[in-house]
Structure 1
Amino acid sequence: MTKAELQKFPQHQFGQAFTTLKCDCPPYLLWLEKRLKATGIQMHNRKVADLWELHSEYNVVVNCAGTGARQLLGDKELFPVRGQVLKVHAPWVKNFIRDGDGLTYIYPGIHSVTLGGTREKESWSLSPDAGTTKDIFDRCCSLEPSLQGAKEMEVKVGLRPSRQCVRLQREVLSQGGVKLLLVHNYGHGAGGFSVHWGTAKEAAHLVRECIAALQDSSARAKL
């Protein structure tokens, strides 16, 4: 940042300015769903308490259960990192602003401005906290004082499914001589929208390996 630009943030001694992209998640997910349905893929909503429920219906199961993998698979390495943000109406805010450790940020979107945030490891609470809301708003206003005039505040809470590393692997479950082929793809933490295309392609590659193994096993059985 230039000296003139940095003067807007007197509490900071150094800054960087750059152009980047922001993914507005809700419309992006709708676009992905529409794209998949256009290829003929069917989507069904149902609750699954045990992956073995799917054995009779599918040859290969891809597990993208996120935080649900802890209960579904007993994965104790998976933990939530709670995030709380505010959505405000402040159309005059055009630039992203983020402080040094990335905990305080202002992200303009299509319909609102996102103010954040928190990183609360091992917290499962989905209820907004009023004290946290005030703290986030105060921190963001210290970076952009004009936010004091923001309207239509909404609080959002989510759990980031985190692990020491993303679980992206094949697994074969066996029960009474019956096998269930799995491909795991979860534990992306806060970086899911940064790496999801790459991990999805790798998961698809692992699915193809599973299908090839099934075909090979079937061919041997016929001999």
Structure 2
Amino acid sequence: MTEEELKKFPQHVFGQAFTTLKCEGPAYLPWLEKRVKGSGGQILTRRVEDLWELHPSFDIVVNCTGLGSRQLAGDSKIFPVRGQVLKVQAPWVKHFIRDGSGLTYIYPGISHVTLGGTRQKGDWNLSPDAEISRDIFSRCCALEPSLRGACDIREKVGLRPSRPGVRLQKELLARDGQMLPVVHHYGHGAGGFSVHWGTALEAARLVSECVHALRTHTPKSKL
């Protein structure tokens, strides 16, 4: 950033400016769902407590259950990182602003501005904390004072499914002489939207390997 641009942030000694994209889940996820249905896919909603419940209805399972993999896959390495943000109406805010730690940020969107945030490892609490909300608002106003005029302030809490590394691998489950190929694809933490397309392509490649193995060993299997 230039010296003139930095004058807006007197508490910082240097900064960077760049152009990027913002992906908004409420619009993007329905678009993905439409793509699935448009290509002949089906979306079923049901509670699953054991991956074997999906066998023999499905020959291959792709496990994208995030934190649910603690139970479904017995993975004790996955843990929540709690995030609390504020959604506010401040249509005059047009630029993304984020401090060096990445903990304080202002992200304008289509219908609201997101103010953040928190990064609380191991915290499963989904209830908003009023004190944290006040702290977030104060930190964001220090970066963009005009936010004190924001209205319709709403608190949101989510749990990021984090892990020491994304689990992207095949596993062949065996029970009572039956085999169930599983492709695990979870543990993206806060980087899900950033890397999801690439890891999904890799997961699809692993599924193709499973399909090939099934056709080789069980030619009459249904896929």
Normalising by the smaller structure, the TM-score range is over 0.9
> What SS is found at the alignment partner of 2:187?
strand
Alignment of 1:205 with 2:211, yes or no, is no
Q: Structure 1, unaligned stretches of length 5 or more?
A: none
Match of 2:155 in 1: 155
The CA deviation at 1:31 is: 0.6
Q: Which residue identity does 1:155 align to in structure 2?
A: E
Task: Give the 5 Å matches for 1:54-203.
Answer: 54-203=54-203
Separation in structure 1 between the aligned mates of residue 35 and residue 219 of structure 2, nearest angstrom: 34
Q: CA RMSD in A?
A: 1.0
Deviations 1:72-127 (A, max 9, x none): 22211101100000000000000000001100000000000000000000001111
Separation in structure 1 between the aligned mates of residue 61 and residue 27 of structure 2, nearest angstrom: 27
> What SS is found at the alignment partner of 2:52?
helix
Match of 1:6 in 2: 6
Separation in structure 2 between the aligned mates of residue 209 and residue 185 of structure 1, nearest angstrom: 15
Task: Give the 5 Å matches for 1:12-27.
Answer: 12-27=12-27
The CA deviation at 1:35 is: 1.2
Separation in structure 2 between the aligned mates of residue 157 and residue 219 of structure 1, nearest angstrom: 47
The CA deviation at 1:162 is: 0.6
> What SS is found at the alignment partner of 1:67?
helix
> What SS is found at the alignment partner of 1:138?
helix
Match of 2:34 in 1: 34
Separation in structure 2 between the aligned mates of residue 111 and residue 28 of structure 1, nearest angstrom: 14
The CA deviation at 1:156 is: 0.8
Q: Which residue identity does 2:111 align to in structure 1?
A: H
> What SS is found at the alignment partner of 1:152?
strand
Separation in structure 2 between the aligned mates of residue 31 and residue 4 of structure 1, nearest angstrom: 41
Separation in structure 1 between the aligned mates of residue 55 and residue 218 of structure 2, nearest angstrom: 17
Separation in structure 2 between the aligned mates of residue 219 and residue 138 of structure 1, nearest angstrom: 63
**TM-score (normalised: structure 2):** 0.97
**Number of corresponding residues:** 220
Separation in structure 2 between the aligned mates of residue 193 and residue 133 of structure 1, nearest angstrom: 24
Displaced runs of 4 or more, over 3 A = none
Separation in structure 2 between the aligned mates of residue 29 and residue 151 of structure 1, nearest angstrom: 27
The CA deviation at 1:219 is: 4.7
Separation in structure 2 between the aligned mates of residue 71 and residue 153 of structure 1, nearest angstrom: 36
> What SS is found at the alignment partner of 1:157?
strand
Separation in structure 2 between the aligned mates of residue 219 and residue 72 of structure 1, nearest angstrom: 29
Of all paired residues, the percent bearing the same amino acid is 67
Separation in structure 2 between the aligned mates of residue 213 and residue 24 of structure 1, nearest angstrom: 37
The CA deviation at 1:209 is: 0.5
The CA deviation at 1:2 is: 0.9
Separation in structure 2 between the aligned mates of residue 188 and residue 74 of structure 1, nearest angstrom: 17
Q: Structure 2, unaligned stretches of length 5 or more?
A: none
Q: Which residue identity does 1:170 align to in structure 2?
A: K
The CA deviation at 1:152 is: 0.5
Separation in structure 2 between the aligned mates of residue 4 and residue 37 of structure 1, nearest angstrom: 50
**TM-score (normalised: structure 1):** 0.97
